[in-house]
Amino acid sequence: MTAVATRKDSEQETKKQHAWRTVLFNCDCHTFDDVETQLLKAIHCSLSAARAFSWEVHTKGSAVVYSGARERCEAVAAVLEDIRLQVKVTQ
């Protein structure tokens, strides 16, 4: 196997590992403040980013709030689920 082929295989494997997403869904049972507080805990983003995500979820029905390795996406989902937010980890 050549160095170029090895590098391409490595790049594809990295893309697969980071092809996971945590999707947050809208619900009427949480306030914007609740959602934003959990996002701050889960993805360590700025308050303005948390507000942008919560608005996108509210207006579009869902938003990808994190992309990365599967394990990290699941950890983010677990924090969001602590207050019973509706989330899904998908590839």
CA neighbours within 13 Å on the CB side: how many for 11? 6
pLDDT in tens, 61-90: 999 999 999 999 999 999 999 999 999 999
* Domain boundaries defined on the chain: 18-90
> Does the global pTM surpass 0.85?
no
Dump the DSSP string for 9-50.
HHHHHHHHHT-EEEEEE--SSS-HHHHHHHHHHHH---HHHH
* Fold of the 18-90 domain: Ribosomal Protein L30; Chain: A, (3.30.1390)
pLDDT in tens, 1-51: 555 554 555 455 555 556 999 999 999 899 999 999 999 999 999 999 999
